[in-house]
Chain A
Amino acid sequence: MSSPLACPARPQALEVLRRAGAVALADLAVTYTWRTWLFGRVPRKLSQVAFFALIGRVVGGEDAERFLVVGNALMACAVETTLVVASSAWERALGTMPLLVSAPAPLAWAFAVRSAQWIISGTGASLVALLLLGPLFGADWQLEMIPVMVLLVVLTAVGTYCFGLALGAWVIDHPAQRNVVSLLANLLMMTICGVQVALDHWPAPVQTLAALLPITHELVALRELLDGAPLSAILPDAAAGALVGAAWLAIAVVAFGRVGERGRRDGTIEFGA
């Protein structure tokens, strides 16, 4: 450390993402132990999925319970990943915002995987719900379906995380609204994306809105998989969901850039103790 830096260095995206991932894993380790996750968080998710599936059994018969168990099992993952909305605002509370803004790396790099722990816990919750509750409510998965099912759940987790990340960029400037925003986002997905109600029930404008959310496409693909559709039918829907997720990531990157710029202009980036 004897000679001061002679020329500016350029941060490397992969290195920043890798190190930010360590923050996510550290948060995950504090949020859950495997015991609290398995015997606390997962049963809570399973109860919710079972609740809706039982309603389906009571009011609509076998088709309805199968529809609801698949929709709500996948939604369990989205509910978890949209926690990114709230956890993005944690940086304000930690006091790291001014340091992140003054660092050479773009702000979006720091936030992109900083809450990725929810992707891991969300994927796990959905897979447990699909594999454990599915067969009890008419969703009989064949062994050969499982790799594709895992892929679709991961795509859902990543896509809904990106959607939440874009909302998180807005919430950073409005931290008091963090829980309201994530609840509204979940409500929107549960209502119009084919989780509780079939997509074709909604008028065209609502279906168009639903198409802008990644879970809509991944859920269609998951239902096709369960119905025994070939991969050639499933993959286009899965890819559409991934594409929508990527679009939300792009929106999030732009939005985080604006968060930094706006904060620099209006002086809302707090500094110090």
Chain B
Amino acid sequence: MNAIQTRALRRVFTAGRDKRGKSGSRTALDGVDLSIPPGEVHGLLGPNGAGKTTLCKILSTVLVPTSGSASVMGHDVVTGLAAVRPLVGCVFGGDRGLYGRLSGRKNLAYWAALYGVPRRLIDGRTTTLLDRFGLAGRADERVETYSRGMKQRLHLARGLVHNPPVLLLDEPTTGMDPVSAMDFRRLIGELRNEGRTVLVTTHDMAEAEAVCDRVTLVNDGRILHSASPQELSALVSRYGRVEARNVPDTLTQRVRILPGVTRVATDTDGVTRIELASADAAPPVLRLLIERGVTDLATCRPGLEEVYLHLIADRGMEVGR
């Protein structure tokens, strides 16, 4: 049994009526098939509007799918609400979703009660979590006095307060400083060691590579690609490029015919972008540029958007904007 399973999952939102009185619709998820085994940390990568949050909403029972099915630990998220809800912890980024006028301790205790944690366990559970997330020193202060990073840590603690086997983390590092983001990655490792299944959405490829056992790229509500981080790294380096300044036209022509160079373009700022078909193509390009006196240069990994564009182009799909 998979911890999370979706089959042909589809969600269509009805938009408002236009000037002619016709109602429109927007497809947020379009036939998503996803299987995540127990204990896996699974990354869901995609740009804004790709459908990541919609999937999290459905899995957390906040949204009903239009068609298809989704289950958590074998329980259907539409027909098995009572079974699914205690099994899922849900955390989203930013500093909303907390009671600012309550202390951190009372926030956790309230959510523990809402999730049915027995009364005799609530105090111990909240204290343990506040310690774990470094909030013990300010546990009894109002949350509205916390920094954004502290609120985010409290969110994570809240998501764990009922000890769920499945965690949904929707853009959990939004607003985190680099040190907190590093702590977050360590936490994900701990959650994996505890045997929990984690679905984490992000648009930060480096973050996904650092914490995930497997990664799924989504765009326009569809799954583009599922891979391990290692496979993803290979995919990324495949689409690497070299950027250089002040490259003479004659040299540009010579670079263009080197093996593995797929495209060469110079923009109005004088930056020449040399796109490569493989990681092996970079050394000859760099060697040639340096031999000819071009020293203002850098190798670049493509951003997630570029990987998407390449993937989409590889599949002959049209990019929806």
Known: A103-B115, A273-B93. A22 touches B170 (CB 8 A): no
Residues of A within 8 A of B98 (CB): 94, 96
- Please measure, in the bound complex, the distance between the C-alpha atom of A20 and the C-alpha atom of B117, giving whole angstroms: 15
Contact B86 A5 (CB under 8 A): yes
Contact A273 B96 (CB under 8 A): yes
Stretch at the interface among A24-32, A167-175, A241-249: A24-32
Residues of B within 8 A of A23 (CB): 99, 101-102, 110
Min CB distance, B303 to chain A, in Å? 22
Contact A9 B116 (CB under 8 A): yes
Is A16 part of the binding interface, using a Cβ–Cβ cutoff of 8 Å? yes
Residue from B57, B109, B171 having most chain A Cβ neighbours under 10 A: B57
Contact B97 A8 (CB under 8 A): no
Tally of B interface residues using CB under 8 Å: 58
- Please measure, in the bound complex, the distance between the C-alpha atom of A12 and the C-alpha atom of B93, giving whole angstroms: 29
Known: A23-B110, A98-B90, A272-B171. A4 touches B97 (CB 8 A): no
Known: A105-B113, A269-B62, A273-B171. A5 touches B164 (CB 8 A): yes
Min CB distance, A109 to chain B, in Å? 8
Contact A26 B92 (CB under 8 A): no
Min CB distance, B299 to chain A, in Å? 34
Min CB distance, A134 to chain B, in Å? 35
- Please measure, in the bound complex, the distance between the C-alpha atom of A269 and the C-alpha atom of B56, giving whole angstroms: 13
Neighbour of A9 across the interface among B14, B62, B128, B162, CB < 8 A: B162
Residues of A within 8 A of B92 (CB): 98, 271-273
Contact B114 A16 (CB under 8 A): yes
Known: A1-B129, A16-B114, A271-B92. A26 touches B85 (CB 8 A): no
Is B60 part of the binding interface, using a Cβ–Cβ cutoff of 8 Å? yes
Residues of B within 8 A of A96 (CB): 96-99
B residues in contact (CB < 8 Å) with A: 11, 13-14, 53, 56-57, 60-64, 82-83, 85-88, 90, 92-102, 106, 109-111, 113-119, 125, 128-129, 132, 142, 158, 160, 162-165, 170-171, 174-175, 194-196
A residues in contact (CB < 8 Å) with B: 1-5, 8-12, 15-16, 18-20, 22-23, 26-27, 29-30, 94-96, 98-105, 109-110, 263-267, 269, 271-273
